[in-house]
Chain A
Amino acid sequence: MHPILKLLVQRIALGLLLLLAVSAVIFLGVEALPGDTAQAILGQQATPEALANLREKMGLNEPPLTRYFQWLGGILTGDLGKALTNGADIAQSIGQRLGNTLFLAGCAAAISVPLAILLGLTAARHAGKWPDKVISGITLTTISLPEFVAAYFVIYIFTQLIPIFQPVAMVFPGMTFWAKLNAVALPVIVLVLVVLAHMMRMTRAAILNVMQSAYIETAELKGLSPMTVIWRHAFPNAIAPVVSVVMLNMAYLVVGVVVVEVVFGYNALGQYLVDHVTKRDLPVVQAVGLIFAAVYIFLNMLADIIGILANPRLRHPK
């Protein structure tokens, strides 16, 4: 077997194992809360008989291990159970909102990642000079602003000063792609501002680190232009650290955007989770928690894999 294939299989197996462990932790965490689902449904005033009946009906008297595997089995077959509050099928509710979340995150990523890398390369090219200082200064400012402050700024600018966008980002099935893009423009701008600095600074640092190498001097002594040196000789050797920070920010875009969703009234996974946490709807919390964990694990695994593939020593063994 090619050694790189072995490494990749290892990484994927490790990711799945980690996901399993996280599922156990989520299950245990919910299990450790006082009261159970039956109590939560029937409320504090429920009679012991009613409680016992419901527990019997829901299978809550089974030992925790059995229930854990039932839950796990349900997830694998696409059955996430029903929400306590309204009896809606969780998988269905999540499905649509996850689509919205991924759409928002995807738009933000499509703009922020190339922009951050471009700005990082430019800052590294002019390290210590004014373009570097301007880029660093602006991105530092945007990352220092809390999301909701940035959000209100953006709303003020683009709906009051230059009224070209809607302040509320409502999307619903049947909208055209263009209409959707128009609707999410403001939250996308806010998200880009928030994640830009981290990725840009990491790109800059990784490139500057590589610029110390002897092979960069070789490239300079060939008379190549500075941007060619950076793009052709420095960047391929800085991919691994850049990708890992890009993936962390991608994960943040999927799971960490609750505040932005709330400010813009965007109907997606974050808001759904917050709604159900306040109502102690444990099956929903469990399901969404697991999905968020899966996103984190998957993206980090992807970063690892890209890092491995970017390493010529692993790609082309002796």
Chain B
Amino acid sequence: MADPLLQIKGLVIEATSYPPGEPPKEVTLVHGVDLTLARGRVLGLIGESGAGKSTIGLSAMAYGRGGVRLTGGTIHLNGREIRLADAKALRALRGREVTYVSQSAAASFNPARQIMEQVIESSLSHGLMTKPEAEARAVALFRKLGLPNPESIGKRYPHQVSGGQLQRCMTAMALCPKPDLVIFDEPTTALDVTTQIDVLAAIKEAIRDTHVAALYITHDLAVVAQVADDIMVLRHGRMVELGETGQIIHRPTQDYTKALVSVRSLDHVEKAPAPPILQVQNLTARYRGTNFDVLKNVSVDLPVGQTLAVVGESGSGKSTLARAITGLLPPSAGRITFAGRQLSADLAGRTKDDLREIQMIYQMADTAMNPRQTVGTIIGRPLEFYFGLKGEARDRRVQELLDQIEMGKGFADRFPAELSGGQKQRVCIARALAANPKLIICDEVTSALDPLVADGILKLLLNLQAEAGVAYLFITHDLATVKAIADKIAVMFKGAVVRYGQKTDVLTPPFDDYTDLLLSSVPEMEQGWLEQVIAHRKMESAGN
């Protein structure tokens, strides 16, 4: 057999970490990973954040992001050792033999230059093609990737095309110099689920037609099952399991892989109807200085102690609904009734109790906390503000809340930077609970977390609801999360509620077009699912 395209042996990757208030220390991110990739094959790298999957992926270009250093092992690409290659040799292979597609094409395209210029740049700088040849190839790739106006889209600037289109442009950029290997680093994670499916299909087709080999990095097993021939499961910088895709998703041998496969099968039985704590009636709202409504005649009820999930894609108005309910965005029409009283439209007109009884938890726990305050101060603040608790009484209550979020002793003196992502979100939940609210608005609170951690947060939220009888308005784009937590569901599309009711009713056919599209776009952990959906949709649109 000929040499494999990429052969990594005993790879060790280290970095210097700077923990707050302590001297810098060396940490090992990847502990001796082996990996072999044959030409034309697709290997999925899967794991949670911190598993080292991006770091390993980038090592195929001998690139260390930030201060990351490739300190041990060998990396052979096309038969040459590249870990110790000099800068000039690396420049010669980057963008020529190996290319990279990042998670956020929006950030990875230079805002000051036209798309075409960036797509063909490496083909020209490596002297692989003439400019007309490269442009012709780019246009062909745009067409293959299903971009609208393939002839002219290259003349646009990155901000002039949508996120899903830009992600395809980045794939075209990676494929343009005819590389041997493309590293896809979570290329669809930042996209809406209905956009993801199209981009995924485009990427898969492009990989198949160009016979390029690929490392496909993602945290979503269902996504990688659609594109990869083999899957490597990683955890804490070590390989857990490696196998052919069908084996990994159907017959995992390791406990960790089994946990990954079964995650999101959490199902929640909806509660019996109850009187509403929150009633939103005919709410219409727009942002100042704009001339279109971001909320259009929205009416929903949330029963006491239950969960209303608001589902929709980015731009559907779900976060705006939260802003209107909290009083941050006074609506132009409609009313909000909470615990039997009508709420003032704007924040200034609300009483302290109105403010206390509606609390909020955000997607980015990181930025929702003051990094210079301890956990104790952060949770203690609402206790002082709303209840005037001080000194020992306050500390005792802080500890009770920490116990409630299953974080035990010793955390009150820690700073947010010392906590993991899941722990940070727990602290934010404790801070919301400290106010004894009747309603907590959860805005994408699990979206930034790894699946297993997100599951833990959802379970915690459900337990707290059972204990304290607090109601949740749960904003999310993720339908698996909805199934796990909701009693009622409102599906939003372009500012309006298109489907609303008890969970079982909403998730039972017949569906309206949009809900159907949304539900059928959620990747299933089944090989061939993608092709089936795409074929089905083509048939339907041909029938119309």
CB of B348 within 8 Å of the partner chain: no
Per the bound structure, the CA–CA distance linking A214 and B65 in Å amounts to: 11
Query: Closest residue of chain B to A235, judged by CB?
Result: B112
In the bound complex, how far is the Cα of B165 from the Cα of A318, in angstroms? 14
Q: A218-B100, A221-B63 are in contact. Are A237 and B110 (CB under 8 A)?
A: yes
Across the interface, do B99 and A312 meet the contact criterion of CB distance under 8 Å?
no
The residue on B at minimum CB distance from A225 is B91
Q: List the A side residues contacting B92 at CB < 8 Å.
A: 223
Whether A224 lies near B111 (C-beta < 8 A) is no
Interface residues on A, range: 20 to 34
The yes or no answer to B61 lying at the interface (CB within 8 A) is: yes
List residues of chain A with CB within 8 A of the CB of B95. 221-224
A2 at the interface (CB under 8 A from B): no
**CB atoms of B96 and A218 under 8 A apart:** no
Which of these, B107, B125, B160, contacts A224 with CB under 8 Å? Answer: B125
A180 interface residue per 8 A CB criterion: no
Give which listed residue, A214, A224, A318, contacts B108 with CB less than 8 A: A214
* Contact call B126/A223, Cβ cutoff below 8 A: yes
- Complex CA gap A218/B99 in Å reads 9
Q: CB-CB < 8 A to A219: which residues of B?
A: 110, 121
A222 B122 Cβ-Cβ under 8 A: yes
Contacts of A310 in B (CB 8 A): 112
A222 to B123, CA, bound (A): 9
A219–B95 CA distance with the chains assembled, in angstroms: 9
Q: B111 to A223, Cβ gap below 8 A?
A: no
Bound CA span A220–B100, Å: 11
Complex interface residues of chain B between 398 and 452 (CB less than 8 A to chain A): none
CB contacts under 8 Å to A, within B103-155, are: 104, 107-113, 118, 121-122, 125-126
Number of B residues contacting the other chain (C-beta, 8 Å)? 30
A69→B276 CA distance, assembly (Å): 69
Which residues in B have their C-beta under 8 angstroms from that of A318?
159-160
Residues in A neighbouring B63, C-beta threshold 8 A: 220-221
Determine the residue in chain A with the shortest Cβ distance to B61: A221
B90, CB-defined interface residue at 8 Å: yes
Whether B102 sits at the interface, judged by CB under 8 Å, is: yes
What is the distance, in angstroms, from B185's C-beta to the closest C-beta of chain A? 11
A316 at the interface (CB under 8 A from B): yes
A214 to B157, CA, bound (A): 16
**Is the Cβ of B112 less than 8 Å from the Cβ of A312?**
yes
B99 to chain A, nearest CB (A): 7
Do A214 and B107 touch (CB < 8 A)? yes
Query: At the interface, yes or no: A57 with Cβ under 8 Å from chain B?
Result: no
In the complex, chain A residues whose CB is within 8 Å of the CB of B112: 236-237, 310, 312
A215 and B125: CB pair below 8 A? no
Is residue A97 within 8 Å, beta carbon to beta carbon, of the partner chain? no
A231-265 interface bits toward B, Cβ cutoff 8 Å, 1 = contact, 0 = none? 01100110000000000000000000000000000
- Report the separation of the CA atoms of residues A236 and B118 in the bound assembly, to the nearest whole angstrom: 14
Chain B nearest CB, measured from A3 CB (Å):
13
Question: For B122, what are the chain A residues with a Cβ–Cβ distance below 8 Å?
Answer: 222-224
Asked whether B125 lies within 8 Å of A223 as measured between CB atoms, the reply is yes
What residue of chain B has the Cβ atom nearest to residue A238's Cβ? B112
Q: Mark A303-314, 1 if CB is under 8 A from B, else 0.
A: 000000010110
C-alpha gap A318/B160 in the complex (Å): 5
- Closest residue on chain B to residue A213 by CB atoms: B107
A144 at the binding interface (Cβ < 8 Å): no
Q: In the docked arrangement, what's the CA distance between A225 and B99, Å?
A: 16
B15 within 8 A of A: no
A316 to B122, CA, bound (A): 25
A222 to chain B, nearest CB (A): 4
Q: Is the CB of A223 within 8 A of B159?
A: no
The answer to the question of B464 belonging to the interface, with a C-beta cut-off of 8 Å to chain A, is no
Closest to B87 in A: A226
Q: Does A217 contact B (CB under 8 A)?
A: yes
Beyond A214-B104, A224-B121, whether A233 also contacts B91 by CB under 8 A is: no
Q: Which residues of A contact B93 (CB under 8 A)?
A: 223
- Is the pair B94, A220 in contact by a Cβ cutoff of 8 Å? yes
Provide the residues of chain A in CB contact with B157, threshold 8 Å.
312-313, 316
- In whole angstroms, how far apart are the Cα atoms of A312 and B100 in the complex? 25
Q: Is the CB of A217 within 8 A of B108?
A: yes
In the complex, what's the smallest C-beta–C-beta distance from B212 to chain A, in angstroms? 16
Pick from B90, B108, B126, B159: contact of A218, CB under 8 Å = B108
Contacts of B65 in A (CB 8 A): 217
Which residues of A are found within 8 Å of B90, using beta-carbon distances? 223
List the B residue with the shortest CB-CB distance to A234: B110
Q: Are B111 and A237 in contact (CB under 8 A)?
A: yes
In Å, the complex CA distance between A310 and B157 comes to 13
Q: Which of A218, A224, A232, A313 contacts B91 (CB 8 A)?
A: A224
A221 neighbours in B (Cβ, 8 Å)? 61, 63, 94-95, 99-100
Asked if A215 and B94 sit within 8 Å, CB to CB, the answer is no
Q: Is the Cβ of B100 less than 8 Å from the Cβ of A215? A: no
Task: Report the bound CA distance from A213 to B102 in whole Å.
Answer: 13
Within 8 A of A (CB), among B68-103: 90-96, 99-100, 102
CA distance A209 to B90 in the complex (A): 25
The smallest beta-carbon distance between A238 and chain B, in angstroms, is 10
**Chain B proximity of A149: nearest CB distance (Å):** 41
Please indicate the chain B residues that have their CB under 8 angstroms from the CB of A316 in the complex: 156-157, 159-160
B111 CB contacts on chain A under 8 angstroms: 215, 237, 312-313
B211 shortest CB reach to chain A, Å: 22
| Distance to closest chain B CB from A210 (angstroms) | 10
Encode contact with B along A285-318: 1 for CB under 8 Å, 0 otherwise. 0000000000000000000000000101100101
- Set of chain A residues within 8 Å of B121, measured between Cβ atoms: 219, 222, 224
A107-163: which residues lie under 8 A (CB-CB) from chain B? none
- Kindly provide the distance from the CB of A241 to the nearest chain B CB, expressed in whole angstroms: 14
A233, B110: Cβ atoms closer than 8 Å: yes
Q: Across the interface, which residues of B come within 8 angstroms of A222, CB to CB?
A: 94-95, 99, 121-122, 125
Cα distance, A240 to B102, chains bound together (Å): 27
Q: What 3 pairs between A and B have smallest CB-CB spacing?
A: A222-B95, A223-B94, A214-B107
Q: Give 15 CB contacts A-B under 8 Å.
A: A214-B102, A217-B102, A220-B63, A221-B94, A222-B94, A223-B125, A224-B95, A224-B125, A225-B91, A233-B113, A236-B110, A237-B112, A316-B156, A318-B159, A318-B160
Binding site for A on B (CB under 8 A): 61, 63, 65, 90-96, 99-100, 102, 104, 107-113, 118, 121-122, 125-126, 156-157, 159-160
Given A222-B94, A223-B96, A318-B160; 9 other pairs, CB 8 A cutoff: A213-B107, A215-B107, A215-B111, A218-B102, A223-B126, A236-B110, A237-B112, A312-B159, A316-B157
Q: A interface vs B, CB < 8 Å? A: 213-215, 217-225, 228, 232-233, 236-237, 310, 312-313, 316, 318
